[in-house]
Chains A and B, each alone.
Chain A
């Protein structure tokens, strides 16, 4: 069972208390955006085999959203962080870079 630390309420929670919300840091498009931009926002996904930044909802708990950095090929969790940000905090990026030398935040975005 996947376990994640909820940074909002400070609890370590089981997957059964959470709801997965898909890729994080998507840029939300407004009404004036092009069809391509909307397609990117609504449907296109990185879906990487490896480092993934994603949204989680602490549904059966504090009811708040947070972000997690996880490896989809090994299920390793690098860390969780607040959802009030448009990119992962530096310590998470550094931690991943240390464990995955071929990965970098720049090439990921």
Chain B
């Protein structure tokens, strides 16, 4: 792999940019791999990357039905934070956030991680109590957050109307090292690194079935033929139940649409990320100047990547009250992704009833922030059969009532 650097840019500038290589190869599938990962979103690619980097397993294929990063990884509002409530969540989300800090150097690919700070607004007394509790929990977990009062909120984010009539801002949970990153670059950076290790990223290839022999996985059938493997990782977000059905088991997951939208670009006006969970809206400004806006999920099962318009309206209506300046803006684009929601709003990283078959899903509305940590943990789970970071996130936890309840921290989409 040719490394990207300031010297490479200078060299290529002098020769009309003729010397850049393709960032990753597009090979035809072999008949068998040690490991197949289904889904070339951030989580699938990160899993493959850490299988190679941490465990030397490189005979790996990542199979993708569309284009890499074209699922939720390329559709999300890129909020990165780790201020969850429960210990197992803090462990994996903070691992992930800390890996984001060094990801650009690690991958030699600029993922534009911007730890600009994430502020979660408390707009009811209930939220004030909830976030104070989270701040205390985070202190014990070694995650740096603090509860700030309304005056400080106004200092951090001057464009906010903190004394709105219906939901005045009473304070907020502030994580100064939370922020955003460039979503496509995360997928592309991992893809390039995986390809460089000799792994195969096979796009435009849909997995249609899972083959097993005596309860053990033997491979997958795809639109490019049958491909064998010793281990299979299903990392397909909204399609998790669909893949599980192919392998003959069910998951405690429901797939629903989540939407986002961006405004026309404007001059810099907000240098942090704000989440307003009571009114179901969140907001940040992209480097291009667009205001990036997300809201709540639809209520019904859906695989179409299209949501209902009235949710967009609700989100914008709510945000305009807290950010009156938004009322002046035209919206440019709006889109949806299919998110995989569990009963306790926590993910599943787990063995399955099929030997050699692992599943990583249930990140729902908030898994972009978790990509590197999830890949790190999933690779360990697949390579060794267990990982300290995934122990509590089994698919059977619901049977035993061992929920990792994050409905407060993650009840709203982000």
Residue among A1, A45, A49 making CB contact with B310, cutoff 8 Å: A1
The segment from A68-76, A88-96, A97-105 that touches chain B is A68-76
Q: Tell me the interface secondary structure of chain B in the complex.
A: mixed
B304 and A74 form a contact (CB under 8 A): yes
8 Å CB interface, A4-46 against B: 15-16, 19-20, 22-23, 35-36, 38-39, 42-46
8 Å CB interface, A42-62 against B: 42-49, 52, 54
Residue among B241, B299, B306, B309 making CB contact with A47, cutoff 8 Å: B241
B241 and A48 form a contact (CB under 8 A): yes
A43 and B252 form a contact (CB under 8 A): yes
CB within 8 Å for A54 and B300 given contacts A39-B398, A48-B241: yes
A1-B310, A43-B342 known; 7 other A-B pairs, CB under 8 Å?
A23-B301, A43-B252, A44-B250, A48-B241, A49-B255, A72-B301, A72-B303
Bound state CA distance, A38 and B342, in angstroms? Answer: 16
Q: Which B residues are CB-close (under 8 A) to A48?
A: 241-242, 245, 301
CB within 8 Å for A1 and B300 given contacts A47-B253, A72-B255: no
CB within 8 Å for A1 and B308 given contacts A35-B400, A39-B252, A72-B301: yes
B308 and A15 form a contact (CB under 8 A): yes
Residue among A20, A23, A42, A70 making CB contact with B299, cutoff 8 Å: A20
Residue among B250, B251, B302 making CB contact with A75, cutoff 8 Å: B302
How far does the Cβ of A55 sit from chain B's closest Cβ, in whole Å? 10
A to B contact number (C-beta, < 8 Å): 71
How many residues from A make CB contacts under 8 Å with B? 27
- Categorize the interface residue count of chain B: 20 to 34
CB within 8 Å for A45 and B241 given contacts A1-B310, A22-B254, A39-B399: yes
A42 and B343 form a contact (CB under 8 A): yes
Can you give 12 A-B contacts (C-beta < 8 A)? Answer: A1-B310, A2-B300, A2-B308, A39-B252, A39-B399, A42-B343, A47-B251, A47-B254, A48-B242, A48-B245, A49-B239, A54-B300
Bound state CA distance, A44 and B342, in angstroms? Answer: 9
Residue among B253, B255, B398 making CB contact with A42, cutoff 8 Å: B398
B299 and A73 form a contact (CB under 8 A): no
A47 and B301 form a contact (CB under 8 A): yes
Q: Which B residues are CB-close (under 8 A) to A2?
A: 300, 308
CB within 8 Å for A45 and B304 given contacts A1-B310, A20-B299: no
- Quick one: closest B residue to A36, CB to CB? B399
Q: Which A residues are CB-close (under 8 A) to B302?
A: 72, 75
